[in-house]
Structure formats: structure tokens, C-alpha cells
Amino acid sequence: MSTTSTTGRVALVTGGSGGIGQAVVERLAAEGYFVAVHYASNKAQADAVSAKIVEAGGKAIAVGGDVADEHAMETAFDEAEAAFGGIDVVINTAGIMALSPITTLNLDTLDRMHRTNIRGTFVVSQLAANRVRPGGAIINFSTSVTRTQMPTYGAYAASKGAVEAMTMILARELRGKDITVNAVAPGPTATSLFLEGKDEATIEHLAKVPPLERLGQPDDIAEATAFLAGPGRWVNGQIVFTNGGMA
């Protein structure tokens, strides 16, 4: 059994001001982590999440920046290190999902999504690989659609396939540094990003797909992420499908 203590460990969570990212931030803070809550544009929301943690007796700050901008993210890492003395865990939940058949997808949309999902993950992973302390963890985010291959998800799944490749290779490149690198691949999860634009019938159908017959909740994803961030030290170079048993 792992004896990794989470109290006082420092986590930087991109996209931490809402959705799954916020659930991850709140779970880690409850386990004693000091948390840097990253935002791309909604500083007020990130400040509110941080303030809630501080009011509950935890430690948190908000840090901003475009994940695909290496200079902005270097500053975010600097701010987290200055506030807390170092970084142990980097969790990259930030991402964009645009749905369309491949035959009709606007290429500007493709470029925008891939800039955030692929370049953004690369930038954050590169910085994390050079700055996370021994005993730490890097956790990226993929999607179960890389396996389920649902129509209209082609470009999004392609971007997350790239995330999976980066994750698995980086885990091997960090041999000897005592840093784990994994990816979490959620299935349908009840976030505003997922629910937006879907009618009730579609949502009900997707909720019945997993054998557990419900949508995932952000807390379900946060639980798996917290395991990889702390006690799951023997899980490395893996894609962890957190989807209630979908194929």
C-alpha cells in the first residue's frame, strides 16, 4: 500500500475554474493539497474557487494564461512555485470540444481545437516534466471517444489521441526521475460542456450506455484523478478510462 502523504503537496490544475477541473481542484484541496487554480479567461471564477478553498482552511491561488502559450504558462508555473515553494502535481484538464462530421468541419475550428488540446497539452507537459519535483505526477486528459469512435467526434478524438501518445511516451522519457505520467479518459460526464446542445433524449440514451446506467459526475472523474496524483504511484504510462464500463 502506498504511504504517499498528500498534505502540503502542491498541484497546478489547468482549466481548474470550472467543470471537471473545478471538481479536481476541490477534491485535491480537501485532501490537503495546496492548489494553483488555472484559468484561461475567467479570472473571476478562478478567484471564487480559490477563495472558497481558503475560506475552508486550505491554500489556493488563481493563475492565468493560454495553455498553448509557453511564456504565459511559464509565468503560471513561476507563480505557483513562488506561492508554495514548488510543484508536485500538474493536472491538465483544459481543453476545447467542437463536434462536427469530418466532412463538414470548419478548418479554423480544427486549428483552434488542436492548438488548445494538442499544443496546449504539449506546452504544459513540457514545463511539468522540467519542474515537477521527484515523487510527483503529471496527469493529462483524454476521452473515451478514442475507443468508442462516436460520429461527429472525429477531430476532437484525433486531438485526444495525440494527448494519449504524448502521455505514454513522456512516461518512458522520464525514467529515473520518480515522476508518473498518466491520462484520464472520461466517458459522458454531466458538465455544462457535455450537456450543451444535447436534447433530453440524447442525454438519456448516453446515460444508459455504461453498465452502471448513468452519466458520470465530475466528482467521479476527480476521484480517479486524485488517485493518480497521490497514492497511485505504481500506475504509470497509462490511459485510465473513467467511464462506468463503456466499451
- Catalytic residue list: 156
- CB distance 24 to 13 below 8 Å: yes
Strand order in the sheet with 180-186: 59-64, 34-39, 10-14, 87-92, 132-141, 180-186, 239-242
What contacts 53, CB < 8 A, 6 or more positions away? Answer: 25, 26, 29, 35, 37, 59, 60
